[in-house]
Structure 1
């Protein structure tokens, strides 16, 4: 075997080794990120708001094109500004498969209840703005949405999994919590009760 062919084999072998190291590094990073997110969702401290509890107040900045039109300041709003309305608060992420499954149902429900003093509000958890906006565009979402900057809103609600949906009554109390994808009929029943009794 000539020196040049041996040299090519050594270079190819070294390149394979480098590629393996790079791929291992990428997978280690992705796994670490997933574990960190899961740990953050599981290990929130505090008391999770349940039905009957006051909803924790928060401020949300909206994505361009997804503002709440009735807000005093269209770019941001506090939950207390929504008192007097029923709020459906949905935590989601573009990388969450069940969030994709429920997206169209949420939009249909928003269209059905928006004229009955019900506001849907989407909170994007640990997502990039381009990915979040792509998700909203893909499912033709029209209700207000914004990012959960530094997971402050998720931490206040002690969200345990994605998606997760909270319904807040006109007085600012949590009346319904749906961990995981929404059950359309259950959510409709809750909204029907709230819109006819209050």
Structure 2
């Protein structure tokens, strides 16, 4: 009991001293300090115009240093540091833009390989002598009878040839034989089959016989009908694979350019590159028809 009584008396005295009874009102942190020591106490502070610091336009100030010590004036702008602070971002962006704008620094993209059939354009035609139905032969390189030779590979089993052969004949007939000639090379069929087909479709054509499919193999033919345009120097100027409705007009434009002395190699390559061409074996239907023709 005596201990509890002593503890309560001590706590009461501590509360009385903390409430300021008979003591100073200043906090323990400011106890002992006098307001007389403050040079700015009870005085007005005047800033003269001569003390104002002028910073040139466009210069950057050191805002970080001002925040740390407000009483210190920043009389000179802090230069931009390329490795720290606000200068780093600008330098980084400049370096990045300079790298992307340099063509040599860009990754090199390998060009798409040219299709083998497209690569034939601009090269010499295959040196093959094609026998003509009714007698004679025509060499695909040294055809001296005309300026331009248009060859078309066809077969009676291909229904697209029924539309293509009349369109090609109409495009070639606009020119004389000394300018343009059309040679319809049959792909592996016999003479009897060829004559029946021409009579049935009322066609009169100069037909070449290619029983061994040498021309088709030399031109990497994977789809019929197939048209190749050869100039008087034996160079393949253009190739058309398959049949479309505008084939007759396309052939007419090509022949018009060639007869006037203009090359169509680049235009033909660009046009043929946009097509979906087979790379390896012929179409199954073409293989089946060839096997049937060989057993006739």
Q: Shared fold by TM > 0.5? A: yes
Corresponding residue for 1:107?
169
C-alpha distance in structure 2 between counterparts of 1:194 and 1:116, whole Å: 13
Over the aligned positions, Cα root-mean-square deviation in angstroms equals 2.0
Query: Is 1:78 aligned to 2:139, yes or no?
Result: yes
Moved more, 78-87 or 165-174: 78-87
SS in structure 1 opposite 2:142? Answer: helix
Corresponding residue for 2:11?
none
C-alpha distance in structure 2 between counterparts of 1:80 and 1:50, whole Å: 14
5+ residue gaps, structure 1, are 1-46, 65-73
Corresponding residue for 1:69?
none
Query: Is 1:50 aligned to 2:120, yes or no?
Result: yes
When normalised by structure 2's length, the TM-score is 0.45
Q: Which has the higher contact order (CA 8 A, sep 6+)?
A: 1
Runs of 4+ off more than 6 Å: none
When normalised by structure 1's length, the TM-score is 0.65
Assess if the C-alpha contact under 8 Å between 1:107 and 1:141 holds in 2.
Answer: no
Query: Is 1:187 aligned to 2:251, yes or no?
Result: yes
C-alpha distance in structure 2 between counterparts of 1:115 and 1:75, whole Å: 17
The count of corresponding residues between Structure 1 and Structure 2 is: 143
C-alpha distance in structure 2 between counterparts of 1:81 and 1:142, whole Å: 24
Greater per-residue helix proportion: 1
C-alpha distance in structure 2 between counterparts of 1:80 and 1:57, whole Å: 6
Q: How does 1:146-157 map to 2 (within 5 A)?
A: 146-157=208-219
Greater radius of gyration (CA): 2
C-alpha distance in structure 2 between counterparts of 1:88 and 1:123, whole Å: 10
Assess if the C-alpha contact under 8 Å between 2:225 and 2:242 holds in 1.
Answer: yes
5+ residue gaps, structure 2, are 1-115, 263-296
